[in-house]
Amino acid sequence: MSLYWRRLLLEETVLLTSVVKWSVLATITGVAVGVTGFVFLWLLEQAMRWSTHYSLYFVVLPFALPLVAWLVRSLAPEAEGHGTEKVIEAVHRWDGRINRKVVPVKLVATILTLASGGSAGKEGPCAQIGAGVASMLADWLHLRSELDRRKVVICGISAGFATVFGTPIAGALFGVEVLYLGELLYYALLPSLLAGVTAYEVTRGLGLHYFYSPLRKTLVL
């Protein structure tokens, strides 16, 4: 076999190995984040439903917010804030390493805040929870490459976003563009899309229903 064909065979083997590897990693990440995201959203729905049964639920707010602040500052200071900026910091400064306590603390803190009448969103927490689950998965799989760990965490961000909004394509784009201003991480686009689709299908399979408002009429220009 000539040198050309050997080199071509080697390149194709490396490419195929990479595709299989990231298909498996992205799918595993999507499943893990999808299950965690479903638990988070289900608990949040139950807490919100419980709070609406009590007209004076807002009186809990002055007690709930100090409790949330204490939980975050004492157990996982990284869980403080919106969530997305902490994920960006973890990817850029710590190669995607995220404290394992962030996932349960962020989950509980967000539910307590929203259920007691506080102001908070779901996209930031879901992105941070997804990234935290992906970071734990990278530890469990003993991923030594910093690039591999970052890519898995990006998949977790995309899967978390897809879970909360039910939009896997938007989740993939969010994951690859949120880390850099004006840039897209194309090398992570396909794994992020696969992770987002997997997480979305997992949450739907577990019984989570998304609200869509399709356009009844399309404008004709």
Say how many CA atoms lie within 13 Å of 195 toward its Cβ.
36
Q: Domains of the chain: which residue ranges?
A: 24-204
8 A C-beta contact, residue 22 and residue 190: yes
For the chain, the maximum distance between any two Cα atoms, rounded to a whole number of angstroms, is: 80
Residue 94 in tokens: 């710590």
Q: What integer best gives the mean pLDDT of the chain? A: 82
pLDDT tops 70 at residue 214: no
pLDDT for 216 equals 55
pLDDT for 217 equals 54
**Tens of pLDDT, residues 93-102:** 877 788 888 8
pLDDT band per the 50, 70, 90 thresholds, residue 196:
very high
Count of C-beta atoms within a 10 Å radius of residue 40 = 24
Q: Is the domain defined by 24-204 classed in CATH 1.10.3080.10?
A: yes
This model's pTM is above 0.85: no
**Tens of pLDDT, residues 123-181:** 778 888 999 999 999 999 888 888 889 899 999 999 998 898 888 888 888 888 877 76
In angstroms, the CA 177 to CA 156 distance is 14
In angstroms, the CA 76 to CA 12 distance is 44
Count of C-beta atoms within a 10 Å radius of residue 64 = 20
pLDDT for 221 equals 47
Tell me the mean pLDDT in the region 51-74. Answer: 76
